[in-house]
Amino acid sequence: MAAQSSLPEIAQRLKQESLAGSNPYLFTAHKSNFIIPFSYSTGFNEAQLGELVSGQSDALKSYEVEFQLSLKLKLNGGDLLLPDDALYVAFTVASWWQFYSRELSSPFRESNYTPEVFYLAQLKEALPGGDLALMAGLEHQSNGQSQAYSRSWNRLYTGVLYSRERLVAGGRLWYRLPEEEKTSPLDAKGDDNPDILDYYGYGEMLLGWRGDSQEFTLRAHGNPSTGKGGGELAMSFPAFGRFRVVVKYFNGYGNSLIDYNQFQQRVGIGLLLSNLL
């Protein structure tokens, strides 16, 4: 998509969302929205999933359908602390659907639910040639399962996003809110995944570039002390109408909560329903 003004692309989007915030019933895209009919992975957490499907892990397919829906709603009608700042609530659901596993009646292998509340402030021309956005929020992430299959965590985060013409760069750091230790794996209360920071680390980074028709993003998270983490490279280009094709490649740990400690490579192609950036 060609730039329509001298404002950086991300600044244009934030400005449009700020104007749309005057409508109390309007949701806008938060993270990317997509549906990938064919997504191939080199491996799942079969030890857990084998029990979940009654020992029929052999019937699970390496290829499945992947999709994500992510929306946010602006809460304030006017400025809070700074001009054009905003307080949002958001919800994201990401699902991995074993559509091709007809022997298992095509179950949803995993779904991750992420409600959050966050504050966003724009600092226009805060750095030479570009705009800066600051954010801080509280996020809960869960796979909605019970006992041994449950995965969840809560985190506070703060981050920055810099945009200059076609370039976007940013990152965020988080602090995991502590939970009590489980007395038994089947205990409903307590920490489902005490070592999750070993694989997700304490933050993530983003690099993005938008051309006349293509978009590219690189996202990565990791823990230097354990040497574990994960990264995703994505590219999108026009398909038809308002839709775009998206191609995604993931390598590492943390593609989903059930697989947070499972190394995998994943590649998929599908339709992007909102921009990558």
Q: Residues with catalytic annotation?
A: 140, 142
Sign of the Cα torsion 98, 101, 103, 106 reads: positive
CA dist., res. 75 & res. 254, Å (int): 31
Under a CB-based contact definition with an 8 Å cutoff, are residues 46 and 79 in contact?
A: no
Q: What share of the chain is helix, strand, coil (3-state, %, to 5)?
A: 10, 50, 40
Phi/psi of residue 170, each to 5°? -170, 180
Q: Looking at the DSSP assignment, which residues form a beta bridge with residue 140?
A: 154
Structure tokens at 115: 């409600």
Task: Give, rounded to a whole angstrom, the gap between the first and last alpha carbons of the chain.
Answer: 12
Q: How far apart are CA 196 and CA 132, in angstroms?
A: 30
